[in-house]
Structure 1
Amino acid sequence: MDARDHHRFSDAVSVFREMRLPEPAVPSGYAALIEAYDLRVPHPLTMCAIGSRHKVFEAEGWRIYTPRHAPAATLEGHLTFALKYEGLDLAVLKRLFQAVEPSDLEAMIAAKPTSAYMRRIWFLYEWLLGRALDLPDAKSATYADIVDTKMQWAGKGTTSTRHRVRNNLPGTPDFCPMVRRSDTLDQFVQMKLDAQAQAIIGKISGSLLARTAAFLLLKDSKSSYAIEGEAPPHDRIQRWGKAIGEAGKYPLNETEFLRLQQIVLGKDNRFIKMGFRKDGGFVGEHEQDTRMPLPDHISARPNDLPDLIRGMIAFDQDHAPDLDPVIAATILAFGFIYIHPFEDGNGRIHRYLIHHTLSARGFNPPGLAFPVSSAILDRILDYRAVLESYSKRALPHIDWRPTAKMNVEVLNDTGDFYRFFDATPQAEFLFQCVERTITHDLPEEADFLRRYDLFRSRIEAHVDMPASMIDLLFNFLKQNNGQLSKRARRAEFAMLTDVEAEDFAAIYQEVFQGDQP
């Protein structure tokens, strides 16, 4: 096997599948296995190779290791290298296991029955493919974790006595995206943002907190529609806001997904096929003259949806509680948006799932929804870039043809692209948005309402003015940098004396433009 395998693996190259390396190097680990077995699968975000220098460095999407790290040019050598230095890429592993002869794996594992790497490979083969290798149960060996928790986030785990391993994968074979450990994520987790939020609201009075929560909820609901380029009637925004306010209250199941779609799309859904898709789907444009689809992202095949949805539900119920809430929210929400199970409404439900996970885990204070959609809207280009970071890597491996209705029909097996992907960039982005809502939006909204209450009370001390007029006065002053315009003085506020107009402008400037009142 070794001699035959040796010829599978390449020597030093400067280009790997149209991707330049920072210097000539020998692809190793997953990159070597993808090339050797011609695996049609999205490549890892960072691939590995062996260079000539005695220094490990990263550049241009590659991590270049030293000659002393070089694995044996065999299936076993590169598999072991991948597990040791790259962690788990379940999509690559599954395609690899489908491509190799089971007898080769059986011989490799039987030769080193106590090796933790071999037992992990053995378990992963049977877990991913749902069929057993012709090997007797492991007799003795220290139990090994399937996921190296120094490299990737994992669940609590259950033991497999057959392989003498702990299955701490954060999902099932139907749905198990992975998130790598990174300095950015470790720092965010250590910040304990949920505790920071509790400390902030502890300084806000009960009545003010209730109004702050209502403002933030409306802000999030409006922003979620704005991200989709929609301006729906106010009643739909309110209904969606009500749904967000109840996020985490109901367990996820197929009925709940369908209920959420109904709320998002409203009563007039004559032009939308409600429910889970029966046809293909894509995100993108149509060519102007021919109407040919120009996809930026292709959704999961309709026949893959039942397994994928079942996997998301199982993740939410059984695995999300073991993970950091923001990381769990990332896996569920971004998994959903890549799967795109509905014809319409996917984007808003994707963002709802963030609220669902955070609320169900008690991350946000009771009755308070962080306006994550508002933070996303303010960083819309970054949001699109992080969505596309995976879609661009998956799209070249999806075969499709246009349908008569200028939709897409996927021709190859792509289900694994949606159940197994690296959600690390998405988790870092979501943490940034959550941090902003807690450290910026929450205290800023509460401070604004407190200042507005002071402004209103001081105006009312001068004149008996209806609340609607005080609100109009505030807006005019805000729009004109703390002064009433001549037009406003001649029209809506013609009844004010010059002294009153000057006093009200001074009150606004003191309350909103001065130091903290």
Structure 2
Amino acid sequence: MPSGQEVHFSGPRTIFQERRLPETATLAGYGALTDAYGLSVPLPRKLSATGNHHRIVEDDAWRILTPRHAPSADLDGHLTFALKYEGLDLAVLTRLFAATGPDAIAEIVRNKPTGSYARRIWFLYEWLTGSRLDLPDAKGGRYVPVVDPDQQFATEGENAPRYRVKNNLPGTKDFCPLVFRTRRLEEFIAMDLPGRARAVIADIPRDLLARTAAFLLLKDSRSSYAIEGERPPQDRIQRWGRAIGEAGRQPLDRDELLRLQRMVIGDARFIKLGFRDEGGFVGGHDRETRMPLPDHISARHEDLPSLTDGMIAFDQGASRHSDPVVSAAILAFGFVYIHPFEDGNGRLHRYLIHHVLAERGFNPPGMVFPVSAAILERIDEYRMVLESYSARLLPLIEWEPTEKFNVRVLNDTGDFYRFFDATPHAEFLYSCVQKTIEEDLPSETAFLHGYDAFRARIENIVEMPERTIDLLFRFLRQNGGTLSRRVRTNEFEALTDDEAARIEHAYEESFGSDG
């Protein structure tokens, strides 16, 4: 929008961009700014408006506030409302500042030179655009955080004297997704899941703990491939499992990402390794024309250097000063949206979860929580979480098919991958981590303890090699703790009736009636 052009904020309405409001209300904050300035940007997951009634109405998509919350119908009013009630949406702000130009922002600051919201807006303009406004340094006003830590996760931050604000943004302008402090996340944090994990393993013998860790590691590796619909040979699963077991030991940089991609792919004869030098998308092709049918379009390859540097800076900086699971969600889901490689992105995305948790000491030493297995069990929810952003992003990307039936992005989309709301991703990841600690870890430990007891009991009944005991166990488990007629007349025909009965009793003693 040309600088100086008059901006009109609309009145009451019932629908905005295909979203139906719970009642007739007037847009406020980011919704009003997006509408008035014609911004092409993913809308916030929840928009705000002000209604005619003196009570707050809220659903998944809207928050309708009272008339007394209504901002002045201008840029300053709606920007202040957004920062006060909606938190920071850096993607919207980036596009908004490009539309307003510098003069409109400078005017807000000149009118309220000591105002806390004006100074935050001033900082955000210069931080996001890299342009300096024609303003002298702030002379008054107490230091205020750029991110309201009661609304969104932030770092401790450092003072920015020019604006008299504390820059506590959890990232750089190359990569800074944000997460809201929801009641659900606060409940997860209050659980002290690392403490629970330590309590689970506290009384487990060292050898049993080592076997539990090895099994969970292999389970996670196998599940990560299964999520991608792949069934690789066992040696590749074990090799990737070893890589996961070493997560967090090496700092994240471009060379490390390339090394991990080579480990994931294995046979690269038909796959181009390294960072993409063309477009990318997730989806299929039309069966007749071979034209792309994207469900998600990856970041432009031209934006990969800055986005990759931003992720690395986040990993080495802000991620170490916020909640570990929240940081893991930001890095891992940011990576998978960017999709920097031709192949291997999904498994590397899940590796990054382990990288952050291990680096932060969230899981006990030598123990890997099988997060991929938890994701696999909740695969539909996992896809919904991915689509919670990609579905809002896709309509804003202008693209054309290439001669190789790939996509070529035609508009500037880099900010959409730098800045997004990772709240659903953090909540989902926390639920998966909770499951691995409260269910998978004790369940696997109990199983191995029961199996050891079962094997000892069998050895007191009949002499047989370990692999035969394992086969016997598998048959019992498949048949609810009893040996079938087929098994008794084939693989274990040498057993007497008394031995078979004692073996079935040993299984029940070891695993209970539910086996």
d(CA) in 1 for partners of 2:479, 2:240: 34
Give the superposition deviation at 1:60. Answer: 4.7
Q: Residue type of the partner of 2:243? A: A
Give the match's secondary structure for 1:101: helix
CA distance in 2, matches of 1:5, 1:486: 86
Separation of aligned partners in 1, 2:132 and 2:182: 34
- Secondary structure in structure 2 of the residue aligned to 1:285: strand
Give the corresponding residue for 1:223.
223
Matched, 1:412 2:389: no
Distance 1:515 1:273 in 2: 49
What corresponds to 1:193 in structure 2? 193
**Counterparts of 1:38 and 1:89 in 2: how far apart (Å)?**
16
The alpha-carbon deviation at position 513 of structure 1 amounts to 2.1
Q: What is the alpha-carbon distance in structure 1 between the residues aligned to residue 304 and residue 115 of structure 2?
A: 37
Distance 1:514 1:203 in 2: 25
Could you give the per-residue CA deviations for residues 216-253 of structure 1, whole angstroms, max 9, x where no partner exists?
00000000000000000111000100000000000000
Contact 1:123 1:163 in 2 (8 A): yes
Deviation at 1:66, TM superposition (A): 0.6
State TM-score, norm by structure 1.
Answer: 0.98
Alignment map for 1:220-369 (pairs within 5 Å) = 220-266=220-266, 268-369=267-368
SS in 2 for 1:31: helix
Residues 401-442 of structure 1: per-residue CA shift (max 9 Å, x gap): 111111110000000000000000000000000000000000
CA contact (8 A) 2:7 2:37 kept: no
TM-score where L is the length of structure 2? 0.98
Deviation at 1:7, TM superposition (A): 5.3
Equivalent residue runs for 1:36-435 within 5 Å:
36-266=36-266, 268-435=267-434
Alpha-carbon spacing, 1:60–1:201, altered in 2? closer, same or farther (3 Å): closer
Sequence identity, in percent? 62
Q: Aligned with 1:355: secondary structure?
A: helix
Alignment of 1:440-479 (within 5 A): 440-479=439-478
Q: Give the Cα–Cα distance (whole angstroms) in 2 for the partners of residues 419 and 466 of structure 1.
A: 57
Is residue 494 of structure 1 aligned with residue 493 of structure 2?
yes
For 2:335 and 2:208, how far apart are their aligned partners in 1?
35
User: Structure 1 CA distance, aligned partners of 2:7 and 2:468?
Assistant: 82
Unaligned runs of 5+ in 1: none
For 1:124 and 1:45, how far apart are their aligned partners in 2? 21
Query: Partner of 1:100: helix, strand, or coil?
Result: helix
1:145-164 per-residue CA deviation (whole Å, 9 max, x = no partner) reads 00001100001101111111
Post-superposition offset of 1:448: 0.2
| Post-superposition offset of 1:9 | 0.4
* Alpha-carbon distance in structure 2 between the residues aligned to 1:515 and 1:334: 38
Which amino acid counterpart does residue 186 of structure 1 have in structure 2?
E
Q: Deviations for 1:330-355, whole angstroms, at most 9, x for unmatched residues?
A: 00000000000000000000000000
Return the letter of the residue paired with 2:279.
Answer: G
- Cα distance in 2 between the residues matched to 1:168 and 1:108: 22
Change (3 A) 1:235 1:335: same
Q: How far apart are 1:101 and its partner, in Å? A: 2.5
Q: Give me the whole-angstrom Cα distance separating, in 1, the residues matched to 2:160 and 2:476.
A: 68
Asked if 1 retains the 8 angstrom alpha-carbon contact of 2:332 and 2:349, the reply is yes
Structure 2, gaps ≥5 residues long = none
Q: What is the CA RMSD across the aligned residues, in angstroms?
A: 1.2
Distance 1:189 1:496 in 2: 54
Partner of 1:26: 26
CA distance in 1, matches of 2:60, 2:345: 33
Contact 2:201 2:209 in 1 (8 A): yes
CA distance in 2, matches of 1:248, 1:120: 35
Equivalent residue letter for 1:476: F
Partner SS for 1:359: helix
Residue 26 of structure 2 aligns with an amino acid whose one-letter code is: V
Check whether the contact 2:280–2:406 (CA below 8 A) recurs between aligned residues: yes
In 1, distance between residues paired with 2:161 and 2:408? 43
SS in 1 for 2:277: coil
**In 1, are the aligned partners of 2:22 and 2:57 still within 8 Å (CA)?**
no
Question: 1: CA distance between counterparts of 2:10 and 2:270?
Answer: 53
Mapped to 2, the partners of 1:352 and 1:164 lie a distance apart of 39
Indicate if the aligned counterparts of 2:369 and 2:433 stay in contact, CA closer than 8 A.
yes
Hey, what's the Cα distance between the residues in 2 that align with 1:417 and 1:197?
36
Query: Contact 1:5–1:73 (CA<8 Å) still a contact in 2?
Result: no
Q: Distance in 1 between matches of 2:513 and 2:210?
A: 26
* 1:131 Cα offset (Å): 1.0
Conserved? CA contact 1:6–1:74, under 8 Å:
no
Q: Which amino acid aligns with 1:278?
A: D
- Shift, 1:288, TM fit: 1.4
- Taking the aligned partners of 1:308 and 1:189, their CA distance within structure 2 comes to 29
Deviation of the 1:117 alpha carbon: 0.2
Q: Compute the displacement of 1:59 (Å).
A: 2.1
Does the aligned pair in 2 maintain the 1:5–1:74 contact within 8 Å? no
Match of 1:10 in 2: 10
Rounded to whole Å, the distance in 2 between the matches of 1:389 and 1:106 is 35
Q: Secondary structure at the match of 2:250?
A: coil
